[in-house]
A and B are shown apart, each in its own frame.
Chain A
């Protein structure tokens, strides 16, 4: 079964600095998608970035980028120039390409941004 592990329950960063959140996963599939979701105190799930496994190029969305290491099954999120609004719980998720494209989530990393 596919599993997703986030080994950092909590992280903190100074405003304007860079922080990296870690995620590892386990799968026997060769084609899949990986996602990072942000969950602020409002509880709304917000998609931050996605990575297609067959693409070697790392995805980037403005200040957010990923380091995707397929062989190592690692998918970390880098947040550059951190802002107070980045403070939230961040979830890494694996999408099954069979079984209705359902998501398996990690346990989450609580990010604090210090002014």
Chain B
């Protein structure tokens, strides 16, 4: 049981390039999330999904896109990368709300846009 896995761990992207951050969970969780964490700051929600085929915007969605075609995978797409997207990106998953709704976090992807 690997939990939440993210790839890559680190990446340097040039301004204007695009890339996809991968996230997979093996806990059969319905809910999945993408957060970004800027240096010295708290996490901010980019997008979330409550099930396959359903996604919604969080606090900071501009410049990103997501899709959820399976329960296990929730990739985050960066289009036309900008220096402001330099951050650490965390994927998380949860079974549902209530007491069992604890979010489990992946190890993060450190992305630098130059």
Contact = CB atoms under 8 A, between A and B. Distances in A.
Nearest to A110: B40
A100 B41 contact: no
Interface in A1-48: 4, 6, 33, 42-45, 47
A101 B108 contact: no
A95 B31 CA distance: 13
Contacts of B44: 105
A70 interface: no
Contacts, number: 57
B107 A33 contact: no
Interface of B: 31, 33, 35, 40-45, 48-50, 56, 58-59, 88, 90, 92, 94, 96-97, 99, 101-103, 105, 107-108
B42 to A, nearest CB: 4
B103 A103 contact: yes
A6 B40 CA distance: 13
Given A44-B105, A45-B90, A47-B102, A103 B97 contact: no
Q: Which label, helix, strand, loop or mixed, suits the secondary structure of the A interface?
A: mixed
A91 B41 CA distance: 10
Contact of B45 (A43, A102, A106): A102
A6 B35 CA distance: 19
A108 B41 contact: yes
Contacts of A107: 41-42
B99 A52 contact: yes
Contacts of A97: 97
